[in-house]
Amino acid sequence: MYTLLLVDDEEEVTRIIAKKVKWNDLGFSVIGHANNGLKALEMLEEMQPDVVMTDIRMPYMDGLELCGQIREKYPATKLVLFTGFDDFEYAKEAVHLEIEEYVLKPLNAAEITKVFEDLKKKLDQEINEKKSAELLKKYYKDSLPLLQANFYSTLIEGRVPEEELTKYLTNYQIDFTGPLYGCVLIHASKTQVPKDMDPQLVAISVDKQAGERLEQKWKAKRFNYLGDTVMIVQLESEKEVSELTDSCDRFCKYVHHMIGAVVTVGVGQICDNISDLVKSYQSAREAVSYRVLYGSNQAINLKEIVPTRKVAMVAADGTELAYLFKMICLGKKPDVKSAVERYMERKIIPLKSLERYHVAVMELISELYHFMVNNELDIQKLSGGTGQLYTLLSNMEARILEKWLLNICLVLHEDMANARDHSKKSLIDQAKEYVHNNYSNEALNLDDVCSELGVSNSYFSSIFKKETGKSFVAYLTGYRMEKAARMLVETSEKSYMIAKSVGYTDPNYFSYVFKRQYGVSPSKYRTEYESN
């Protein structure tokens, strides 16, 4: 069942369309109505309909402008225009908008039915092509040549000598122009897959879609590594990192909508040397692991969610300590406790030599210090200097040492959680302050705020709504309306002047938004206040 959004400023028209056409029989479900283009864009972000059917003549934003915005932001959405005869030639000129069909008013149920029967076949064909096992096998065969893929894998593992880089790039005809580079890791869930689809085929489809939607824009080298898709992207400047994160976030939403895949994209740190891509890959993989805290089906940029982090989690001890540090960052208290027990059972308790026990304690202290310094945690919580702490711990029995280690790990776990919360709240406070200082600017939008804060739209929108309970646009609108309401009762300014002072050059649209907020027009709001 495909979804349809109807857009027309005449509610009677949308009611007739919804009632007269047997949508369910055609394979469509009408999921909403919008009475202007601006409202339609708000609903599009939330509903992601397969088809938008819109009139041309509407207030605030006409149908063609709406189609242009949809084509730019939601290219997979199909567009159907209905319009009067006078606008027909005007509408046909918009061939670059890739309108599926034009329906002339007065609307005819039979004609609409025929249009959507044809559209249903087209949508079915596109879906079947994306899910076709044979086509997916072809996509797999068309992936990057083996030598290039092996080189990329070796590169992110840090096994390509820097002095031999130029030789490999030349021999394998690889074009790295930079000047900045980074790794993007695309992880498709193997447990949350559409019914009756093989996880491997889902992963192949996601890989192919990444090539189509991300590869060219970001001059990316795409390959498969350890079951995931990895892309080495090339950027012109650090400022493009937020745009890259937003592109990856839209990609996650797109593949989930089209084929039901649950995808998390990790955006690694940016570097200016190809040899440093090993660090970028490590941070991209770590970013993906943060889905346990922030959820799947989105892009995660480690620099945004943990801005105080300097390097990825590492531990000289290898698996056990690295796992313990990972649980401190990502797990819950029971996970930290289990990780401590696992470390002690495998690395400390089995030791029979006193010398080896002392060496293990020394390594533990060293790695704890490194972890805390790298994460800008308070090392004073490890009381005393390294020598004093070593003397204290090396004389503890193993089980007493385990209790000490659990206690300090739980303290660090809480510190990491508090740091994340503080970072989020600080970001929200900065955004609110920016709105309070710039709300009168008609052009103020989400892009401006994110650019000012240096974060991606996707991450900011997510945490803003989670922390405040409303979208950024809703907050901005609400703040403007509060200011307008105050000016209406505290000043004698004309309504159109108040509109301009809170960021609306169109007084009619200001009145529309104000009435939607308060239930009455600006003039009536002032009159009712004065009468009281």
The pLDDT, as a whole number, for residue 311 is: 39
Same-domain status, 65 and 26? yes
Q: Tell me what the mean pLDDT of segment 283-306 comes to.
A: 88
Residue 298: Cβ-neighbour burial (10 angstroms; 0-12, 13-18, 19+): buried
Distance, CA of 284 to CA of 185 (rounded, Å) = 6
pTM recorded for the entire structure: 0.58
pLDDT at 314 over 50: no
Asked whether residue 56 falls in the same domain as residue 19, the answer is yes
33 vs 192: CA distance, rounded Å: 32
pLDDT in tens, 145-196: 788 899 999 999 999 998 999 999 988 888 999 899 999 999 999 888 888 8
- Does residue 340 fall inside a structural domain? yes
Contacts 24+ apart (CB under 8 A), 435-442: 435/475, 435/476, 435/479, 436/479, 439/476, 439/479, 439/480, 439/483, 439/502, 439/503, 440/501, 440/502, 440/503, 441/503, 442/503, 442/504, 442/505
Pairing of strands 78-83, 51-55: parallel
Q: Kindly state whether residues 61 and 179 are assigned to the same domain.
A: no
Q: Do 271 and 180 belong together in one domain?
A: yes
| pLDDT score at 312 | 42
Q: How far is CA 528 from CA 143, 497, 525, in A?
A: 68, 20, 5
Question: Would you say 131 and 139 are in contact if contact means Cβ atoms under 8 Å apart?
Answer: no
Q: Model confidence over 350-384: pLDDT tens digits?
A: 888 888 888 888 888 888 888 888 777 887 777 66
99 shares its domain with 159: no
Residues 289, 256 share a domain: yes
How are beta strands 228-235 and 221-225 bridged, if at all?
A: antiparallel
**Residue 396 — φ and ψ, nearest 5°?**
-85, 145
Coil, strand or helix at 7: strand
- State whether 362 and 462 are in the same domain: no
Q: Tell me the residue range of the domain where 459 lies.
A: 439-531
On whether both 389 and 350 belong to a single domain, the answer is yes
Classify residue 195 by its DSSP letter. T
For residue 209, give both structure tokens: 């879609």
Percent of the residues in the chain that have a pLDDT greater than 70, as a whole number? 92
Residue 138 inside a domain? The answer is no
Counting DSSP H helices and E strands in the chain, the numbers are: 25, 10
Both 58 and 83 in one domain: the answer is yes
Tokens of 315: 């531990």
| Residue 44 reports pLDDT greater than 70 | yes
Q: Are 288 and 248 in contact (CB under 8 A)?
A: no
Domain total in the chain: 4
Structure-token pair, residue 443: 């052009």
Q: Are 86 and 43 in a shared domain?
A: yes
Q: What is the pLDDT of residues 423-456, one digit of tens each?
A: 888 889 999 999 999 999 999 999 999 989 888 9
Specify whether 341 is located in the same domain as 416. yes
The Cα–Cα gap between 77 and 44 comes to 10
**Residues 152, 298: one domain?**
yes
* Rounded alpha-carbon distances, angstroms, from residue 114 to 103, 110, 111: 11, 6, 5
As a whole number, mean pLDDT of residues 267-272 equals 94
- Interstrand relation of 298-301 and 263-267 (parallel, antiparallel or unpaired): parallel
